[in-house]
A = this chain, B = another copy of it.
Amino acid sequence: MKHRVVVIGAGFAGLQVVLGLKGAGCEITLIDRRNHHLFQPLLYQVATTLLATSDIAWPIRALLRERRDVTTLLGTVEGIDRDTRQVVLRGGGRIPYDTLVVSTGARHAYFGKDAWEADAPGLKTLEDATTIRRRLLLAFERAELAEDPAERQALLTFAVIGAGPTGVELVGIIAELAHRILPAEFRRADTRKARILLVEAGPRILPAFSADLSAYAAAALARRGVEVRTGAPMTECSAQGIVVGGELIPARTVIWAAGVQASRAQEWLGAKGDRAGRVMVAPDLTLPGDPAVFVLGDTAHVVSDGKPVPGVAPAAKQQGAHAARTIRARLAGRPGPGGFRYRDMGNLATIGRNAAVIEYGRFRLKGGLAWWVWGVAHIYFLIGARSRLFVALSWLWVFLSGQNSARLITQRELPKDR
């Protein structure tokens, strides 16, 4: 009987395990709640009308169509029975495993303020992205209909909470939309008067970058009309607006880019986790005491060279590849690759048209050239020639025409309130 590998979650880590086990002679079952693998680093561009959903997501089973050793299941995991070595699906189905890989990612977290989610949605899934896109575009539409100037200004005030790469990228595009693309299209509301705030509790934006690139990014955002507020956390958030540093700012559109919480895997496994719910793993990425179970990516608390590994796509991919090598070695009876070591691929973030920052070890780049490098790198990392062609053409189109193309509001009904 073939060795049965079950992988839960087809994100960067899980998919990499499956790719790494090609030809290993396993019987692989890949389970995901969604039918697509998502390129999360560009999700903010779907949220801000630059790309279509199908540009950055691919049906998992289409990606693995040639792999006869892989069965893809669309299903929701309800638990893991480690005694009988079975994954329990909603509906009662049970999938037995010899080796289990748990790579179910993370969701945004509100540091105990879960009530904020309704007014400050986060950005992790395609649905999150289309929700944010709808709110963003509806705010401008409602500003056009508003009679009261204060209400109009509140509708034209956008706040992004958290100044990591996602937060910076979001405010950059929102500023471009409000100040450059939309003014010609509205007759009553002056979208050039839109306020766009980037709120960061820490002392500076892009904290993972060096201080000079962080300062450059802050200046570039200010030139684009973004108000950068550092050093004060958001202390309240409601449908009326936000409170930052004691000041109430009426804002009808708030986006959360501040924190994440690992998926429920810790609970399923009955394992020890860190404060963010990530499962503490052994150096070889397995569950301490249960080498049949790997935990990878944003679900795992991994330490490399004494430092926690960041929750970024390259780290997840490297972990997936490492787990696949370990499984192959075990099957062959060879010694495995041992402990996981993270190879830092550097940091990239865009700020807006012709502005980005790149840091790779001591190498630093900013401005227009960094922006082009950023674009080429991201196209390279997309899956398949079709996505590369369509994303490249979409960007080129926006660059040349100045028109964002994915600006549809889709929903059943125009909601009565936000």
Q: Which chain A residues have a beta carbon within 8 Å of chain B's beta carbons?
A: 33-36, 52-55, 57, 59, 61-62, 64-66, 68, 70-76, 90-91, 93, 126-127, 130, 137-138, 141, 144-145, 184-188, 386, 389-390, 393, 397, 401, 403, 405-412, 414
Contacts and interface: CB of A to CB of B under 8 A. Distances in A.
21 contacts: A33-B414, A35-B409, A53-B408, A54-B407, A61-B186, A66-B184, A68-B187, A70-B187, A72-B144, A72-B187, A73-B144, A74-B145, A74-B409, A75-B414, A90-B414, A91-B145, A93-B145, A126-B408, A386-B397, A390-B390, A393-B393
Contacts of A408: 35-36, 53-54, 57, 59, 126
Contacts of A70: 187
Contacts of A66: 184
A71 B188 contact: yes
A90 B35 CA distance: 38
B141 A409 contact: no
A311 B405 CA distance: 29
B76 A410 contact: no
Contacts of A185: 59, 61-62, 64-65, 72
Contact of A393 (B126, B389, B414): B389
Contact of A52 (B36, B52, B409): B52
A144 B55 CA distance: 26
B410 A127 contact: yes
A408 B61 CA distance: 11
B36 A409 contact: yes
Nearest to A63: B185
Contact of A75 (B74, B145, B407): B145
A404 B76 CA distance: 26
A377 to B, nearest CB: 23
A170 to B, nearest CB: 20
A15 to B, nearest CB: 15
Contacts of A61: 185-186
Contacts of A403: 62, 386
B93 A54 contact: no
Contacts of A91: 145
Contacts of A411: 127
Nearest to A412: B127
A52 B401 CA distance: 20
Contacts of A390: 390, 393
Contacts of A412: 127
Contacts of A405: 54, 386
**The 7 A-B residue pairs with the shortest CB-CB distance in the complex, in nearest-first order:** A74-B141, A61-B185, A71-B187, A35-B409, A59-B407, A52-B52, A54-B406
Nearest to A410: B126
A62 B393 contact: no
Contact of A76 (B53, B68, B127, B414): B414
Contacts of A389: 393
Nearest to A68: B187
A410 B411 CA distance: 12
